[in-house]
Structure 1
Amino acid sequence: MAEFDTSRSAVCTLFEGHYHYGVGALVNSLYRHGFRGVVWVGYRGDLPPWARAARQTPAGYDLEVASGCVIRFLPVETNVFFANYKPHFMLDLWDHYGLEAERLFYFDPDIVIKCRWSFFEEWVDTGVALCLDGAYAHMPATHPFRRQWQAFAGRHGLQVQRCPDEYYNSGFVGVRREHRALLEAWRTLMEAVREEGINITSFKNFEGYNIGDRSHPFYVADQDMLNLSVMVTDVPLSVMGTDAMDFTGAGFTMSHAVDAPKPWKKNFLWLLLKRGRLPVLADAEFLKYIDGPIRLYSPLRLRLKRLNYLASKAVGTFYHRH
């Protein structure tokens, strides 16, 4: 296996089930934009079908993607829903798996990057890298959630250091080792959520706790607690807007496929004809990264997937004009 520098930057993500398609596209996008190093992938269940060449290691499995890039698969034994396990996994990489890199980036497995990898390293060197959320980018310092979060933090021994008026998406975060206090606060707060009786083993499904909609301050627990972790720490931040994840136009950094179904599950033409849903930018970006260096589909399925997308675009344009 090729030798490469592991001291600069590392990437991590978490997946189970069909999200392996997103992991493959993410890694392809990273490699094609210049990332070299280790992508640490926590998983439950089976390895992806495209990872049959992975070799077993004491910790899991390693797959050489291409020269200078390796995926390190780590089986994760937890009943916590993976969205709620992000800070635990990131800190475990430094504390229990011997991660050498000074910079650590987490990406959800439904994200691909769009620009040179070195930009992400430059970004995190100016502070913890975060992006504004597409739905709730603006959350004033006096928002009732923030007041409720402050009381919650106080009950668990954490004091608010600042009250921003921005709300951040938890699908991406970049942290330098020296700023790990944010991850430690995030992990503490996720454990505090569980201590207060909120079920964090599923997404927006809180049995025994009255969480029915966004009016609850813990409705999106991982994201809400990321935002509270910013409030209870004073590490420097470097924040990009809603464009950074392609929630609005003119984005150049990454594309986040937040809606369901995910791009790899979509029949684009059927969705257009039956539901009137056109493909979105995240679909187009996903399709750019499905054929290498990791091949996610057979040549026939790859061709059909792209033809299906192109047909939906053509039909959508026709109907729009008429």
Structure 2
Amino acid sequence: MAALLNSLVENGFVGVFAIGWRGAPPPWLDALESHPDGGWRVGAVRVRLELLDTPWLLAHVKPSFMLDLLDRLEPQSTAVWYADPDLVIDAPWAFFERWALQGVALCEDNCFPKLAPHHYLRRAWTSFAHEHLGLELDAAMSCGFNSGFVGVRRNDRVFLETWRRALELLPSIGVPLNQLKPGTRVDPFHGTDQDMLNLAALAHAGRVSSLGPEGMGFSPGMNVMWHAADAPKPWRRHYLVDLLCHGRGVGNAHRRFWDYAQGPVRSWTDLQWRCRRLSLWGAVVLSRFYHAAS
């Protein structure tokens, strides 16, 4: 979360950074300057902490939290963005503001960037939407989106309402919401929050503005964000051990995470950060010889 916040500050974000949490709050908050309106301040960014009191996995309250920000917590705001905490922003924030003006801002997924209208999952979601929500889905849209980032302007809030309604109905058909990925991908609702985001996009009568997998750094091109979607996450990964034991190299998302991990918000001591960076770059250099000798 600290790296994401640092990336926003460095790229010119001005606004409110709301952290939805449960359990112990981030310890690095104590080192931040207080904001006169409550919460904390990092440059031009106000940081606020909001307790999410729910038995569900927090991934499944994304649309509810975003609607709460629009309706109660920040009623003067014109737009709300959600980002997973394993993601960093890597383009000027002005780009993201222009992007959301074109419609609901979404990025295509790395696993299912394309879903033809006759795809099994599309057929299953269409039946669910018709039977349980009374909605028809757009047969022309052929993209599959990642739920790790979404930008919604206030006049597109119906997108969030549909996403929330679809998620709330899943327990009624036996899909639990206290797990991230119940079942397997052969089940119609394995990705849960992401599947229902796709349903909301397909049902949205307004405009959607999307980037391909390159938007999150899943493929080369227009890399405006980096999403370390693979496991283990950057803060849990031991890069040299991973390379030597599993032959796993270091992707750009991990490199950019550590570039932003030490900024105005410090969740690591200088020594911890330097050791992690040394391990990462040692693995990067060694992997060149490793692959050459393989």
Shift of 1:158: 2.4
Which residue of the partner structure matches residue 85 of structure 1? 61
Which residue of the partner structure matches residue 266 of structure 1? 237
Higher helix share: 2
Q: Does 1:41 align with 2:19?
A: yes
Q: Secondary structure at the match of 1:238?
A: strand
Please, which moves more after superposition, 154-163 or 251-260?
154-163
Q: Show the 5 A alignment for 1:130-149.
A: 130-149=106-125
Residue among 177, 180, 183 paired with 1:200: 177
- Using the size of structure 1 for normalisation, the TM-score is 0.87
Which residue of the partner structure matches residue 80 of structure 2? 104
Shift of 1:157: 3.2
Which residue of the partner structure matches residue 227 of structure 1? 198
What do the CA deviations read for 1:190-234 (whole angstroms, capped 9, x no partner)?
0111222211111123xxxxx3x2111101011111111122221
Query: Identity of counterpart residues, as a percentage?
Result: 38
Return the alpha-carbon distance in structure 2 between the equivalents of residues 103 and 283 of structure 1: 28
Q: Does 1:321 align with 2:292?
A: yes
Q: Secondary structure at the match of 2:73?
A: coil
Q: Secondary structure at the match of 2:53?
A: coil
Which residue of the partner structure matches residue 184 of structure 1? 161
CA contact (8 A) 1:54 1:62 kept: no
Please, which moves more after superposition, 31-40 or 46-55?
46-55
Return the alpha-carbon distance in structure 1 between the equivalents of residues 91 and 280 of structure 2: 23
Return the alpha-carbon distance in structure 1 between the equivalents of residues 130 and 33 of structure 2: 47
Consecutive unaligned residues of structure 2, counting only runs of 5 or more, are none
Q: How many residues align?
A: 291
- Which 4+ stretches in 1 moved above 6 angstroms? none
Which residue of the partner structure matches residue 101 of structure 2? 125
What do the CA deviations read for 1:49-75 (whole angstroms, capped 9, x no partner)?
211146899x9x71212x211211111
CA contact (8 A) 1:87 1:187 kept: yes
Shift of 1:96: 2.5
Q: Does 1:310 align with 2:288?
A: no
| Root mean square deviation of aligned Cα | 1.7
Which residue of the partner structure matches residue 257 of structure 2? 286
- Seen in structure 2, the aligned counterparts of structure 1 residues 179 and 261 have a Cα distance that, compared at 3 Å, is same
Q: Does 1:153 align with 2:129?
A: yes
Consecutive unaligned residues of structure 1, counting only runs of 5 or more, are 1-22, 206-210
- Using the size of structure 2 for normalisation, the TM-score is 0.95
2:2 partner amino acid: G
Q: Does 1:275 align with 2:246?
A: yes
